[in-house]
Amino acid sequence: MKIGIVCYPTYGGSGVIATELGKGLAMRGHKVHFITYAPPARLEHFHENIFYNEVRFADYPLFDYPPYETALASKLVDVVKYDKLDILHVHYAVPHASVAYMAKKILLSEGIYIPTVTTLHGTDITLVGKNPVYAPVVTFAINKSDGVTAVSESLKQDTYDNFNIDRDIKVIYNFIDFERFKRTNKEHFKKAVAPLGEKVLIHVSNFRKVKKVEDVVHIFEKVVKKIPAKLLLVGDGPERQNVEMLCRQLGLCDSIRFLGKQDAVEELLAIADLFIMPSASESFGLSALEAMACQVPVISTNAGGLPEVNIHGVTGFLSNIGDVEDMAKNALLILENPEIHQKFSAAALANAEQYSIENILPHYEAYYEAVISRSLYLKP
């Protein structure tokens, strides 16, 4: 198949999944065209089946904001037409689903039918998309996609609860490349971070409010009162400064390291004893899955799709949003008991294995084929 992939090229989970999906499809012989405004963060290497089409903006003094949607729709029309794509897969509904619809209509006026698939990732539904500022367009565009997928059962339900959706949504879970995310021996690195054998807690996110990074610090404060520990905070975003201030107020600066955005997250996970994800909303929790693949148990909230990924009492523990007391208690239970830790680490890996790219990617291929054959009769 010739597949067009639209996503945000930044560090967000939707961009990661879209890019890894495209890379995986290219390895399986499909031609994959990424159509984004910058090279996707995880698109590091050349592959003969991968093509990168940059969306360019024509600036004009009248514009306070460059018209991203118009530029993207025009680029989609161009790529679909000249590279003869079979299907267009857009990730994150806002604004990609409505842009795909616009491109589809333009192409139809020229006698070309391009089937579109929209993958709902999380905040496009739970936060941004349901805002009345965007909701009518998001609802319309989801209903007009030829195929719609969501990354968890919880997100599928949230979509039905928040929007007037009259079509089926297929759940295709996030996935992981075990070639990359696996526990490796990084003892030298662990010694540098935790020279006295302290336990290493880790949090990875884009530091948006929804991630509740301040709760990570509060949990850590309770843990470090009981056992020697260090906290690694990986990622960057709008809340970072507030979190830094909180660490200073609590006098924890010596025990907490802000590492900023990191490419080789798996190397950091390889020295971690526990992953903390206290999100207020999380459709799936890809970074928790990455941790589990590296045999790191997870302390998380029970928000959104997290209970589908982090199995309570097996791969980690779930608590109510904001219940830092409970999350700290659970963290200590795992960290203070080597046998429990070992059991949870093994279970984390075992549970993560069902989400391997080898297991999940064929679901996307089959879904594309179904969508394409369903829309054959729509071809002009």
Q: Which residues bind ligand GMT (CB under 6 A)?
A: 12-14, 17, 92, 121-123, 151, 174, 206, 210, 281-286
Smallest separation, CB 66 to ligand GMT (Å)? 21
Say what angle helices 213-226 and 240-249 make with each other, to 10 degrees. 30
Say what angle helices 68-83 and 93-109 make with each other, to 10 degrees. 50
With the CA atoms of 236, 241, 246 and 247 taken in that order, what torsion angle do they form, in degrees rounded to the nearest 10? 60
Closest CA to 85 of 156, 146, 31, 26: 31
Of 123 and 255, CB closest to ligand GMT: 123
Question: Beta strands 2-6 and 87-91: pairing type?
Answer: parallel
Of 18 and 224, CB closest to ligand GMT: 18
Of 9 and 224, CB closest to ligand GMT: 9
Smallest separation, CB 279 to ligand GMT (Å)? 6
Closest CA to 142 of 172, 164, 113, 173: 164
Smallest separation, CB 158 to ligand GMT (Å)? 9
Of 141 and 286, CB closest to ligand GMT: 286
Smallest separation, CB 43 to ligand GMT (Å)? 16
Amino acid residing at 338: P
Smallest separation, CB 25 to ligand GMT (Å)? 17
Exposure class string for 271-291: b at 16+ Cβ within 10 A, else e: bbbbbbbbbbbbbbbbbbbbb
Of 158 and 273, CB closest to ligand GMT: 158
Of 146 and 290, CB closest to ligand GMT: 290
Task: Annotate 219-242 with DSSP letters as a single string.
Answer: HHHHHHHHS-EEEEEE---TTHHH
Smallest separation, CB 306 to ligand GMT (Å)? 8
